[in-house]
Amino acid sequence: MRAAEKSTIAQFLDLAHAYCKGGYRSGEREYQFTDDVPVDTPAAGISMVESLERIAEDIQACENCQLSKTRKNTVPGEGSNNPLVMVIGEGPGADEDATGRPFVGRAGQLLDKMLAAIGLSRESNCFIANVTKCRPPGNRDPQLSETDACAAYLNRQIAILKPRFILSVGRVSAQTLLSTGEAIGKLRGKFIDFAVEGRVIPLIATYHPSALLRNEELKRPAWEDLKLLRTAITEAGLGEKLLQ
């Protein structure tokens, strides 16, 4: 909505309020509205790729939190521009910070194998991102102020990409996206409605690949989560989008 339209509506509401109060008006208020900038669809003449590149440029220039002082590279994310699934992790590690790409270390290699096992790939039907776009020093957990600083970028990406499902990997990712302190063991194994930019997207959480590398006992429940996701995709009539 444009600023002029907002002002017209506000003035009408002021007039209606005055009428209800007996018709007295102390003077016409001046409003300082601005035009809305839609984030859920690319502007006219701008392609989806250009929109994602614009977000990446904004991320690269971002200094909204202390992570901007210690990063080597920002890690906006990568993958399909029309993803069936958006995979969201917690934050870049050393390999990601060095390359500017998400999930490229040992955990990333395992993630690629996990996705391939159910017909998913960052090259064709997934987009991979994180709740923070810069590496926390020493691979510590991101702080709330840091995930808050990145939230708008992630929401803009989700709004443009419109994934049919979200796969949240790791405790920090799930807790951040769902605004909860509940343990990952209680959040996984089920779909949870995730609301963003006026849309509700089915989200399933599972263990982070790095946790599987540390504890092989977590591989079985993680596989069960992936099978749930694959079943949901098939039942939604989207099975043809999975790699065979």
Structure confidence at residue 46 as a pLDDT band (50, 70, 90): low
Average pLDDT of the segment spanning 122-129: 97
Euclidean distance between CA atoms 114 and 134, whole angstroms: 24
DSSP letter assigned to residue 200: E
Tokens for 52, please give them. 């994602």
pLDDT at position 72 over 50: yes
Ranking 5-9, 138-142, 161-165, 234-238 by mean pLDDT, the lowest is 5-9
Whole-number mean pLDDT of the chain?
A: 88
| Other CB atoms within 10 A of residue 98 CB | 14
Percent of the chain with pLDDT over 90: 77
**Confidence band, pLDDT 50/70/90 cuts, at residue 173:** very high
Percentage of the chain lying above the pLDDT 70 cut: 81
Judge residue 140's burial from the number of C-beta atoms within 10 Å of its C-beta, 0-12 exposed, 13-18 middle, 19 or more buried: exposed
Q: Is the pLDDT of residue 64 over 60?
A: yes
Could you tell me if 139 and 180 are in contact, meaning their C-beta atoms sit under 8 angstroms apart?
A: no
The DSSP secondary-structure symbol of 8 reads H
- Are 119 and 230 a contacting pair, CB within 8 Å? yes
- Domains identified in the chain and CATH numbers: 1-36 (no CATH), 37-241 (3.40.470.10)
DSSP 110-162: HHHHHHHTTT--TTTTEEEEES-SSPPGGGPPPPHHHHHHHHHHHHHHHHHH-
Lowest mean pLDDT among 14-18, 123-127, 129-133: 14-18
Residues near 173 by beta carbon (within 8 Å), at least 6 away in sequence = 88, 89, 90, 130, 131, 205, 208
Residues 16/17/20/23 CA torsion (nearest 10 deg): -80
Whole-number pLDDT of residue 36: 47
Please tell me the predicted confidence (pLDDT) of residue 4. 53
Would you state the structure tokens that stand for residue 227, as one six-digit string? 């099978």
Collapse the DSSP code of 55 into the 3-class scheme (helix H, G, I; strand E, B; otherwise coil) and give the result.
Answer: helix
Q: Is residue 217 pLDDT above 90, yes or no?
A: yes
pLDDT of 49 reads 81
